[in-house]
Amino acid sequence: MAVPNELLGPILRDVSRSFYLTLRVLPRRVRTQIGLAYLLARTTDTITDTNLVPWKERVERLRQFRERIRYTDALPVNFSDLARQQGNPAEHRLLERSHETLEMLDTMAPEDRGQIQLLLETITRGQELDLRRFGDGKNLAAMQTGAELEDYTYHVAGCVGEFWTRLTRKHCFPETQLDDDEFLVEAARFGRGLQLVNVLRDLPRDLRDGRCYLPTDELETANLKPPDLLKPDAWGKLKPVYNNWMQTARSHLAAGWRYTNMVPFGQYRLRLACAWPILLGGKTLDKLSLANPLQLEPRIKATRGEVRGILWRSVCRLPFRSAWENLFTPA
């Protein structure tokens, strides 16, 4: 079995450099659990996105992986065949070594393992729904209502906010007096906001993969059908619908910022780990608001210089409560 430092170091870094930064700043007492949960979730995401494999087979692979996560005596899993389908070397290696992440899960303390199992149960159920909704992507399909989109963002990201909260609350500040119900509500909105940013940013690529996450009932109010969005000149009609979801994303990120400021002031590492994705998500929304997001290229994202600026400003303002709180201002 690979040592945790290898799984949570080079393997995770190569899969996601942005999350690797977040992981490195997290308090040590939760770093292993959150890093492992990310690797397991990224494994299921890679399985879901392996388009060369029929969607029903992907659903079955997700079910097998979920069973092995839930029960140590379940049948072993082997994703070597799926690994060979990956164009990304990092994702190839992640699938090849998925048994090692499962072995690492087996060594977790029972309560932490239970939280990870609950998280992956929720995520994989959402991914199954997504595969059943969109199939192999040969024909463009769409979500029907805004409620479906909100449900999707909860299953793949809102539940992550809840997991993060329960884990860090237990290990980092168990004695702090907080309204835990409100804390969990804001946590779920935090995760949903980050996923909505991804949905809005990745719209043109998802459309070409046969997936439209913008609901058809709202598109109809703009006299649009999902195939129309493949043409960048549909942006004029789409703009009101798209901007409404942009505002929803900003509102969720604002909830995430309130959540971040509910974390005790002395929990500097944890505050930074929460702040960075919010600030980067806000920067992405700012860029999307100035672009035609139906254009496939260039892909809209923060530049390396902008990322470094966000990290630097957040670290410098961290000790100063007022300056820190003004880092994020929802438009």
Q: Report the pLDDT averaged over residues 89-104.
A: 94
pTM: 0.94
Instruction: Please list, in sequence order, all residues whose beta carbon lies within 8 angstroms of the beta carbon of residue 3, skipping any fewer than 6 positions away.
Output: none
Structural tokens at position 28:
């040590």
| Tens of pLDDT, residues 196-218 | 999 999 999 999 999 999 999 99
Q: Report the pLDDT averaged over residues 42-69.
A: 95
Cβ atoms of residues 291 and 284 within 8 Å: no
Residue 331 has pLDDT above 70, yes or no: no
Residue 3 has pLDDT above 60, yes or no: no
Q: State the pLDDT at residue 1.
A: 40
Average pLDDT, the chain: 94
| Tens of pLDDT, residues 154-198 | 999 999 999 999 999 999 999 999 999 999 999 999 999 999 999
Structural tokens at position 4:
């945790």
Label residue 43 by pLDDT band (50, 70, 90): very high
Of 5, 32, 38, the closest CA to residue 109 belongs to: 32
Q: Report the pLDDT averaged over residues 12-25.
A: 92
Q: State the pLDDT at residue 138.
A: 87
Q: State the pLDDT at residue 330.
A: 77
Cβ atoms of residues 51 and 209 within 8 Å: yes
Residue 12 has pLDDT above 80, yes or no: yes
CATH architecture of 4-325: Orthogonal Bundle (1.10)
Structural tokens at position 310:
């966000």
Helix (H) or strand (E) holding 212: strand 211-212
Place of tokens 């994202």: 301
Cβ atoms of residues 75 and 68 within 8 Å: yes
| Percentage with pLDDT > 70 across the chain | 98
C-alpha–C-alpha distance, residues 60 and 55, integer Å: 9
DSSP string, 283-309: HHHHHHTTS-TT--SSPP---HHHHHH
C-alpha–C-alpha distance, residues 259 and 168, integer Å: 13
